[in-house]
Amino acid sequence: MILEEPHSKARSGHSPRPHPAGAAVAALVAGALLAGCGGSSSEPGSGEAEPEREGITLYSGRIAPLIGPAIDDYEVKVDRDVEARFGDSATLAATLVEEGDNSPADVFFSQDAGSLGAVDDAGLLAPLPDEVLELVPARFRSADGTWVGVSARARVIAYGPDVGPDELPGSPLDLTEPEWEGRVGWAPTNASLQGYVTALRLVEGEDVARAWLEGMVANGARAYESNVPVRDAIASGEIDLGLINHYYVAEAKAQEGEDYPVDVHYPPDGLGSLVNTTGVGILASSEEPERALDFIRFMLSPQAQSYFAESSKEYPLVDGVEPDPELVPLDQVPAPEVDLTRLDDLEGTLELMRETGAL
Amino acid sequence: MALAAALPVLYLAAAIGDDARAAAEQVWSSRTFGLLARSTGLAVAVTATAVALAVPLAWLTTRTDLPGRRVWATLTTLPLVIPSYIGAYLFVSAVGPRGMLADVLGPLGIERLPSLYGFPGAWLVLSLFTYPLVLLSVRAALVRLDPQLEEAARMLGKTPMQTFRTVVVPQLGPAIAGGGLLVGLYVLSDFGAVSIMRFDSFTREIYISFSSSFDRTGAAALGGVLVALMLVLLWLQSRVRGSLTLHRAGPGSPRPARTVALGRWRWPAIAFCSAVVLVALALPVGILVYWAAQGISSGLAAASVATNAVHSLLAAGAAAAVGALAAIAVALLAVRYPGFLTRTIERASFAGYALPGIVVALALVFFATRAAPFAYQTLGLLVFALTVHYLPLAVAPIASALVSVSPRVEEAARGLGRPPLEVFRTITTPLVAGGVLAGTALVFLHAIKELPATLLLAPTGFETLATDIWRQTGYGFFEASAIPSLVLLIVAAPPLYLLSEKGTITS
């Protein structure tokens, strides 16, 4: 095809046609450049951030609405700044591993034991003193003393109004039965479910875990992105049962009232109500280890522990602080004895979940 | 600069180097191929749909007497400002099984709508929110097109339909290929929409490897496969672009095309535009407004929204400016001095776009903490990351604008004694201004809704609209997230308006 037109007639174009768009580009570019320059010289907004590094830098896998008020309390109490960077725990753990010794972070607050374990495995966490570790029961802290639990959550079976109390399964392992076909939701990419599968492999063995995953997939378990959509899908009637953490339902009930159509069942068998923990550790590369430790002490103080118990309905871990009275007390949760620090073989779990098609 | 654009690829190489055997095993597993096939299938389907929507819309809004043409031009472009993760969520809550629509239809006896999850949902959402990428480039090309060729074809006895097929469509090839490439790469690297739609894609696998197993090597190996796929797409696109000489050879500049009278075809045309705008714009925005109203009435504080909006504007504006300047250089080299080196530079610039945001972000974490710790987690680094990530968005329109400028015009100017820089400033720049404007606006629009790199690389405490939305939706506060989402749309709309106006200004 020839599009060259050597002899095409054309007006004598001695000047390019007018181009208002050109002026617009120039204005846009100039404006943006000015904005950019202004930004790099004066760090707007977060301006008062670092006059002379008065505080600590926190990488938080717990999102701001949950942990923000506790941080504010700390800042008021000790008159110090906390620079918090939020992200999901696993992404922040991956970031810490990439940053290595150059990390600006002093403290890592994780949503789950697995992410802390990964950072610890990379040798990036500093040991904590015994007096801090001993505030929390041994099963909620790392064996080598590099991180300590802050609050606990139980894996539960959430259920909607179409499920009668006598129908409820005794264990998540029963959800592979035909009666639950297509009625169950889970969040296989979520760390909490993966933690459960890891525990299953540890305690019941590889074969049981594999059979369960295969059974769940064959039974049409619906995969959601995370726990909240699972809960919402039960509320909207899309599914009848879901494997999630206890507090998602407790919170919805606190917000929407007692007639919120989802309830919680603590399954007694099959590692049903596995209890996992959020936790904190100090980066070995921190230049402010004392202040970082201060922050951890505060998170384990009665003030912060009661805050977690009341606001997000989690289980506090320090003696003397009571969980929400609506919840089954932690020592009565039919939880299996599982060493949480051994739940770090996520790779094996993911391998198995991939092989069985759960992921 | 090519080095900067290639940083993500270097990072992948470093990570694969950790354990090359494990990486190879990961790549050759049957699962990898299954996922690759699924993702490619989705990319092909979405691209085809985007082209099918965009070409008629572009023609209707540039060449016809469609009533309210300028308004349609803007409205049909606007869906681009809706981030695919928000769009996907809105669709699930609106037309998912037992969503809002099902609630409305419930009394009419319709119990359950067909499930949107999986391929249909991912295809629908990604098509609806990416087709403007094709629309913008095709519209710009239509405006630039010289009507004399069409008139010649008509005089030689071709019917209007034949003329369109044999003269107009081939000339639109580079624009369709350029826009389609952006759509295809976007689909390959998208994570938000596919994960909400529960479509098991290649990117989702990369995210899972990176973030839940800390399996850097495996994730990098998969990223490498994505880069290879991107090279194939680029090769296809370069064949479309390279085989044509599209600039005018004669002197002068084209005169605007004559407007086509639609006659009674006006009504179907309006119906088509309305349907697209209704589904891709009115529906999602309507739900957002509804949620925002509910959120405000239940007393949600929206105090930080203004600060966050300023942060968003700042980061995205700077990224757009830097990106446009860099893209002009890359496009100029690639189009005017084609060769192995310049082609490599242009292709390297696409790597950042084809890779998921998390890979780009972690690559810069890796390099910045080692090579430039002073810049780590500063606004400068964030702008740099956004530029690396979205550079191709600016390169594509600028390159297709350059293709249609005859180098002889520049040569003539130089022959008349103007120095090269002067020629560039006074001749080339004005002629490709439309492309530069499009490129700048595209980078801006994407940078303002970017999430993973912003979360990891922004100065600590530097909240943007996108991070605010993430924070709220991550915890199920959808009503609270509606307010920053709406502000994001409002902030992003003016550059887009400018972009869609351009067509009418020039014609």
Residue pLDDT, tens place only, B224-278: 888 888 888 888 877 776 655 555 555 455 566 677 777 788 889 999 999 999 9
Domain that holds residue B184: 2-244+264-506
- The predicted-structure confidence for B121-175, as pLDDT tens digits, reads as follows 899 999 999 999 899 888 878 877 777 777 888 888 888 778 878 888 788 887 8
CA distance B382 to B389: 10
User: At residue B103, does pLDDT exceed 70?
Assistant: no
Chain B residues with CB-CB distance to A83 below 8 A = 460-461
Q: Do A94 and B198 touch (CB under 8 A)?
A: no
Among B331, B333, B329, B328, which residue's Cα sits nearest to residue B440?
B328
CA distance B120 to B66: 31
User: Do A237 and A129 reside in the same domain of the chain?
Assistant: no
pLDDT band at B99 (very low <50, low <70, confident <90, very high): low
Which strand (E) or helix (H) includes residue A316? strand A315-316
Q: Do B459 and A88 touch (CB under 8 A)?
A: no
- Residue A89: what pLDDT? 83
Q: B325 — contact with chain A (CB < 8 Å)?
A: yes
Residue B127: inside a domain: yes
User: Do A147 and A233 reside in the same domain of the chain?
Assistant: no
Residue A250: inside a domain: yes
- Residue B452: what pLDDT? 84
Residue B156: inside a domain: yes
* Surface of A (100-139) touching B: CB under 8 A: 100, 102-104, 114, 118
CA distance A21 to A5: 27
CB atoms within 10 A of CB B306: 10
Angstroms from B441 CA to nearest CA on chain A: 9
A91 pairs with which residues across the strands? none
Q: B476 — contact with chain A (CB < 8 Å)?
A: yes
Domain count, chain B: 1
Q: Do A84 and B148 touch (CB under 8 A)?
A: no
Q: Chain A interface, mutation test: which of B213, B241, B247, most A Cβ atoms within 10 Å?
A: B213
Q: Do A94 and B380 touch (CB under 8 A)?
A: no
Residue A159: inside a domain: yes
Residue B251: inside a domain: no
**What is the percent of chain A with per-residue pLDDT over 90, rounded to a whole number?**
35
Angstroms from B426 CA to nearest CA on chain A: 9
User: Do A288 and A143 reside in the same domain of the chain?
Assistant: yes
Chain A residues with CB-CB distance to B318 below 8 A = 32-33, 35-36, 39
- The predicted-structure confidence for A18-73, as pLDDT tens digits, reads as follows 344 444 434 443 443 333 333 333 333 343 444 444 689 999 988 777 788 888 88
- Residue A264: what pLDDT? 92
Residue A97: inside a domain: yes
Residue B249: inside a domain: no
User: Do A165 and A207 reside in the same domain of the chain?
Assistant: yes
Which strand (E) or helix (H) includes residue A297? helix A289-299
CA torsion B285-B288-B293-B298 (nearest 10°) is 180
CB atoms within 10 A of CB B104: 10
What the block records as the tokens of A191 is 């760390």
CA torsion A245-A249-A250-A252 (nearest 10°) is 140
The one-letter code for the residue type at B96 is: G
Q: Are A336 and A274 in contact (CB under 8 A)?
A: yes
- Look at chain B and count its residues: 507
* Secondary structure letter of residue A86 according to DSSP: E
Q: Do B379 and A91 touch (CB under 8 A)?
A: no
- Residue B385: what pLDDT? 93
- Residue A22: what pLDDT? 41
Interface pTM, i.e. ipTM: 0.76
Task: Read off φ and ψ for residue B486, nearest 5 degrees.
Answer: -65, -40
Q: Of the candidates B31, B249, B318, which has its C-beta nearest A36's C-beta?
A: B318
User: At residue A9, does pLDDT exceed 80?
Assistant: no
SS3 A151: strand
Distances in whole angstroms, Cα of residue B471 to Cα of each of A24, A86, B104, B329: 35, 8, 30, 37
Select, from the ranges A84-88, B43-47, B254-258, B476-480, the one with the highest average predicted confidence (pLDDT).
B43-47
Average pLDDT rounded to a whole number, residues A298-321:
91
Q: Are B482 and B295 in contact (CB under 8 A)?
A: yes
Average pLDDT rounded to a whole number, residues B408-424:
83
CB atoms within 10 A of CB B417: 7
Angstroms from A329 CA to nearest CA on chain B: 25
Q: B155 — contact with chain A (CB < 8 Å)?
A: no
Average pLDDT rounded to a whole number, residues A72-85:
84
User: At residue B504, does pLDDT exceed 70?
Assistant: no
Q: Are B7 and B388 in contact (CB under 8 A)?
A: yes
> Beta strands A125-126 and A275-283: pairing type?
antiparallel
Q: A10 — contact with chain B (CB < 8 Å)?
A: yes
Q: Do A10 and B98 touch (CB under 8 A)?
A: no
Residue B252: inside a domain: no
- The predicted-structure confidence for A195-243, as pLDDT tens digits, reads as follows 889 889 988 899 999 999 999 999 989 888 788 889 988 998 889 999 9
Angstroms from B50 CA to nearest CA on chain A: 26
- The predicted-structure confidence for A282-291, as pLDDT tens digits, reads as follows 999 999 999 9
Residue A105: inside a domain: yes
Q: Of the candidates B195, B250, B311, which has its C-beta nearest A5's C-beta?
A: B250
Q: Are B496 and B77 in contact (CB under 8 A)?
A: yes
Residue A206: inside a domain: yes
Residue A24: inside a domain: no
What the block records as the tokens of A226 is 């995370």
pLDDT band at B476 (very low <50, low <70, confident <90, very high): low
User: At residue B416, does pLDDT exceed 70?
Assistant: yes
CATH number, position B338: 1.10.3720.10
Chain B residues with CB-CB distance to A99 below 8 A = 365, 369
- Look at chain A and count its residues: 359
User: Do A253 and A307 reside in the same domain of the chain?
Assistant: no
User: At residue A12, does pLDDT exceed 60?
Assistant: no
Q: Do B324 and A350 touch (CB under 8 A)?
A: no
Chain A residues with CB-CB distance to B99 below 8 A = 236
Chain B residues with CB-CB distance to A81 below 8 A = none
Domain count, chain A: 2
CA distance A92 to A3: 55
- Residue B250: what pLDDT? 52
* Surface of B (257-296) touching A: CB under 8 A: none
User: Do A188 and A260 reside in the same domain of the chain?
Assistant: yes
- Residue A174: what pLDDT? 92
Q: A81 — contact with chain B (CB < 8 Å)?
A: no
User: At residue B320, does pLDDT exceed 70?
Assistant: yes
User: Do A164 and A126 reside in the same domain of the chain?
Assistant: no
Residue B75: inside a domain: yes
CATH number, position A200: 3.40.190.10
Residue A185: inside a domain: yes
End-to-end CA distance of chain A: 50
**What is the percent of chain B with per-residue pLDDT over 70, rounded to a whole number?**
87
User: Do A201 and A163 reside in the same domain of the chain?
Assistant: yes
Residue position matching structure tokens 């392992």:
A173
Q: What is the phi-psi region of residue A59: left when phi exceeds 0, alpha when psi lies from -120 to 50, beta otherwise? A: beta
SS3 A185: strand
Chain A, chain B: beta-carbon pairs less than 8 Å apart: 220
CA distance B356 to B114: 30
User: At residue A329, does pLDDT exceed 50?
Assistant: yes
Domain that holds residue A183: 153-273+346-355
Select, from the ranges A6-20, A54-68, A270-284, the one with the highest average predicted confidence (pLDDT).
A270-284
SS3 B419: coil
Task: Read off φ and ψ for residue A84, nearest 5 degrees.
Answer: -105, 135
Pairwise pLDDT comparison (B192 vs A186), residue with the higher score: A186
User: At residue B186, does pLDDT exceed 60?
Assistant: yes
Nearest Cα residue in chain A from B406: A4
Pairwise pLDDT comparison (B453 vs B500), residue with the higher score: B453
What the block records as the tokens of A292 is 């970082």
Q: Do B369 and A347 touch (CB under 8 A)?
A: no
**What is the percent of chain B with per-residue pLDDT over 90, rounded to a whole number?**
17
Question: A103-112, A173-182, B108-117, B290-299: which range is least confident on average?
Answer: B108-117
Residue B257: inside a domain: no
pTM of the predicted structure, to 2 decimals: 0.78
User: Do A112 and A229 reside in the same domain of the chain?
Assistant: no
Task: Read off φ and ψ for residue B174, nearest 5 degrees.
Answer: -60, -35
Which strand (E) or helix (H) includes residue B211? helix B202-212
Residue B481: inside a domain: yes
Residue A20: inside a domain: no
| pLDDT, chain A, mean | 81
User: Do A193 and A246 reside in the same domain of the chain?
Assistant: yes
Pairwise pLDDT comparison (A96 vs B25), residue with the higher score: A96
Helical H runs in A48-88?
Answer: 64-78
- Residue A43: what pLDDT? 37
CA distance B195 to A43: 34
Angstroms from A100 CA to nearest CA on chain B: 8
User: Do A148 and A231 reside in the same domain of the chain?
Assistant: no
User: Do A222 and A350 reside in the same domain of the chain?
Assistant: yes
Question: A65-79, A107-121, B71-85: which range is least confident on average?
Answer: A65-79
- Residue B301: what pLDDT? 57
* Surface of B (371-410) touching A: CB under 8 A: 373, 376-380, 383
